[in-house]
Amino acid sequence: MSPDQHDYDIHLDDKYGSLTLIDLPAEIAAHEPWFNQTLTTVNDAVVRLGIIEGDFHWHKHDDQDEFFLVLDGRLLIDLRGRDTVTLDHHQGYTVPKGVEHRTRAPNRTAILMVEAAGVVPVGD
The CATH number assigned to the domain holding 110 equals 2.60.120.10
Q: Which of 114, 70, 60 is nearest to 91 (CA)?
A: 70
Task: Tell me, yes or no, whether 121 lies in a domain.
Answer: no
User: What do you get for the CA distance between the two ends of the chain, in Å?
Assistant: 22
* Average of per-residue pLDDT across 32-60: 95
Q: Which range marks the domain in which residue 91 is found?
A: 3-116
Domain total of the chain: 1
Q: Give per-residue pLDDT as tens, 55-107.
A: 999 999 999 999 999 999 999 999 999 999 999 999 999 999 999 999 999 99
Identify whether 66 is part of a domain: yes
- Picking from 96, 103, 45, 49, the residue whose alpha carbon sits closest to that of residue 74 is 103
- Is position 124 within any domain? no
Q: Which of 59, 45, 66, 52 is nearest to 8 (CA)?
A: 52
Domain assignment present for 106: yes
Residue 122 in any domain: the answer is no
Share of the chain above pLDDT 90, in %: 84
Q: Is residue 8 part of a domain?
A: yes
Cβ proximity of 8 and 57 under 8 Å: no
Burial class for 83, CB neighbours closer than 10 Å (0-12, 13-18, 19+): exposed
Asked whether residue 40 is assigned to any structural domain, the reply reads yes
Decide which of 1 and 115 is more confident: 115
Q: Is residue 123, in this structure, part of any structural domain at all?
A: no
